[in-house]
Amino acid sequence: MVGLRAKASAFEHPKAPHLDVLRARHFTAAMQVVFPAASGAPETGAALTDVSGALRDASGASTSGTDGGARGFYVAHMTLADLLDEGFLATHVKADGARLHALSADGRIDRDDVAAVTPNGQMHLSISPRAYRRLGVSGLKSDDGTLKRRCAVNLAKKTFAPGGAFRDRLVDAARGLRATDCALAAKRPYLVTTSHKTLNTSSGSGVPGVVFPEGCEFFKRRASLASTFVRVARGELETPPAPASYVFGREPRDAEAEQETLSEFHEWLGEVSCAETGLGVRGEGAGTEIRGNVERHRWEGFFVPDDVIAALFFCRRVVAGGAKPWAALTAWGFPDDPSRDTAVDAGGDG
């Protein structure tokens, strides 16, 4: 649990450490924005907050396609050899400004071979001992009690090119893999998108353009957005007040109290996440209905750090403009993401 000082004046600075926390998670499976509902809503007919522009960055550019709606992405069936394809890497990893995001979609990290490519050009692998020996990459022993190995390969490195000894050996090994050696030898589904900073790579349908290697079957998908009122009270309070501070006092007693307030607020947000969808729920008395006291907006799909940062800036604009007294953003990652181990994020073979 990390508290971000979203009100800090330096938050929008490009080098602000706050944004590094969000950029450290390369892949996000779902995002949720929570606002307190307007007084009497929805009984008075008050509308939900318009979040159609939430995934636009601070400059107004859309991070999610031409219409500002939910981000588009691909589900592509690829082998490990496809991920290492020379043309694919030249276009989406090595090109100036290119940032590829690819993640295994159907593997269990505790027992399956899984792979991911992060926007800094690192390919992350969580593989079995047999696959580890066959591929000939270096790696660390897993700390989750399994025999898995965690490996990283720097695909963006200049020496990772045809003619390079390590690259040629790895590509040959990937092409020669059998299903009994490594699950990545077969065509497996990957979630794929790009966040190119210098070129307009949109395919015209809100899905960033990706040129896949020959023989790869792929489908375009869009993230979903569900907005609703829910009711989750906190004791006698309709909604708990947002924590006044995310930087705890110097006195141990003050710090402990402030930490408890923040923890209770996060616990309440968890209850909001799990609340039944709808305007309200039936009360104890016959015919009574408890109206929603919270707006909940949830996107589900495949998101990159730019999307999460854009959603956070949207929340800041809503609060700064006086439309809401506070806003809360929650982001969930993928449990089987091999890139979440930051110990091997910056190095890697290659």
How distant, in Å, are the alpha carbons of 6, 38, 200, 269, 327 from that of 313? 9, 21, 23, 19, 11
How high is the pLDDT of residue 246? 52
The token pair that represents 226 in the structure block: 């569900």
d(CA 12, CA 329): 17
How high is the pLDDT of residue 281? 42
How high is the pLDDT of residue 66? 35
The reported pTM is 0.81
d(CA 211, CA 186): 20
d(CA 297, CA 60): 20
Sorted by sequence, the CB contacts under 8 Å of residue 122 that are 6+ apart come out as: 152, 153, 154, 155, 156, 339, 344, 345, 346, 348
What is the b/e burial string over 120-135, where b = at least 16 CB atoms within 10 angstroms of the residue's CB?
A: bbbbbbbbbeebbebb
Q: Could you give the count of Cα atoms lying within 13 Å of 100 in the half-sphere of its Cβ?
A: 28
How high is the pLDDT of residue 148? 87
Number of other residues whose CB lies within 10 A of the CB of residue 40: 10
How high is the pLDDT of residue 195? 80
Are the beta carbons of 119 and 314 closer than 8 angstroms? no
How high is the pLDDT of residue 68? 41
What is the 3-class SS of 135-175, one letter each residue?
HCCCEEECCCCCCCEEEEEECCCCCCCCCCHHHHHHHHHHH
The token pair that represents 307 in the structure block: 């999307």
Mean pLDDT by 10 residues, the chain (350 residues): 49 67 88 84 68 68 43 92 96 92 91 93 94 90 80 94 95 93 93 68 57 95 90 72 57 65 83 72 43 87 91 90 90 91 54
| Identity of the amino acid at 219 | F
Say if strands 28-36 and 294-303 run parallel, antiparallel, or are unpaired: antiparallel
